[in-house]
Structure 1
Amino acid sequence: MAKWTEMKPVDPREIQKKRRIEEKQRKLEEQARKAKTMKIKIVAVFVLIILLFIGLGAFLAHRKEKAIQAAARQMELMEIKLVSGSGEFSRLGVFEAIPKGGVKLENPPHIKTASDSRVEVHFATGAKLIVFGSTDIQIQEFDYSASNNEARVVAKLSDGRVVYRCEKNNRFYFKTDRAEIREASSLGGSFEVNRDKTASLDIVISLDIALKVNKFGQQEIPLNPSHALRIDNTGKINTSFVSVSTRDW
């Protein structure tokens, strides 16, 4: 004989309550999944931004370095000549490509002529520094080293009077070891070297042909790296030429 199972009536409110709980749980799970996805996207965006900044910084640094190198090439020392009063000259060096170890003169030339004999220093841009001696000029030493970008010229003078001229509108600044500074004319002038005193005289040549480089690697207004010319109480001329210096702008 078959048995009948009595079915209890289902309360619709219980069904609705269960459905609401399931729907709420599903929404919470979906929100959690979306939040996790959003966090991953935010982290990825931040990483991408950081990588972009690093790449941009490296690119700008490379451009600035190239611009500085281009400006430095304009300041390169190209030629030093000893010129006699009659116009004859002895070339101390022509620099198109400086060897890494530098160059030295084993037997420096000696010029003994008229009072308008001179030393000419030529730069890549065509700027020229001319130092007039007296009746006797002898280059004792000339050394150019590419490793430290320094060139040195030492010359003897028969007396202590030196006449100078600088082309391309370069500016001269006179500075003694007593820190007395005065600006001289761009066109030229003269001064006396007193051999009876131990004080030496420095001439700092400020060349207007170098270029300022901004953070974007663009060349802007001129900067003035210093080039020193020392004439001491022994009558020697000692010039040091230094390449374009890197500055923080």
Structure 2
Amino acid sequence: MLDWLDGQTRDFSSLRYLAHGAAPMSVEKLKRAIEVFGPVLMGGYGQTEAFAAISFAMPEDRFQNGRLAPDERLNSCGRPSPLISVEIRDDHDQPVGIGVTGEICVRGDVVMRGYYNDPQKTAETIVDGWLHTGDIGFLDAEGYLSVTDRKKDLIITGGYNVYPSEVEQVLWSHPAVSDCAVIGVPHEDWGEMVIAVVELSPGQRVSADELMAWAKERLGSVRTPKRIDFVTQLPRSGTGKVLKRVVRDQYWADSGRRI
């Protein structure tokens, strides 16, 4: 919508809510959207297994003391729904403290009873009544939930953990980038190498070296993509969500392994 407007002015004063979801929105695009459409942006986080209602970010959550909230708050997906309990748990299934990253686990009446005709997957996913979402995130001191990545999307390169969403946020902030997918690809020495597959905004141009320099300045060497591939259009689902698995499969097809 922002690309379509391309600087045109419109009267959005009658707009009360503009909801976004299905995938994280970059902080820079969220700021632009608030500037263009007004203080009406409403986001949320959920999944089919929890009735798509884990947390909500209302328009007022985007502001603090009458001003636009810091990036950390803008990057959150709001506070947990009153219908659900949220805990962040470590690899030993133990709750962690405020601000500590771990797997997002939820419990409540909106959580599914199980997967149809798949008791094994159900038992792996729901443990002692807690649904293990497979998403990585943390809760801050004010109860706001931030989702940092999918557990299975974690890239381990040379022994270091790299969360793709952190890299994507930086690339999204470049004015020439419309969207991107950061993935790990096979590497003989490091196990995986961080690369970015980038879709540019209409009429924009930028080189791979320029984007890598942009990322390195903000992320450091380890998390900076070692290669950037440009595509005309990233593969997407029917709801417009980037199909990262499809992107990743193209690079792993001949590797003989999946991790």
> What TM-score, normalized to structure 1?
0.24
| Higher relative contact order, chain-length normalized (CA < 8 Å, sep 6+) | 1
Larger Rg: 1
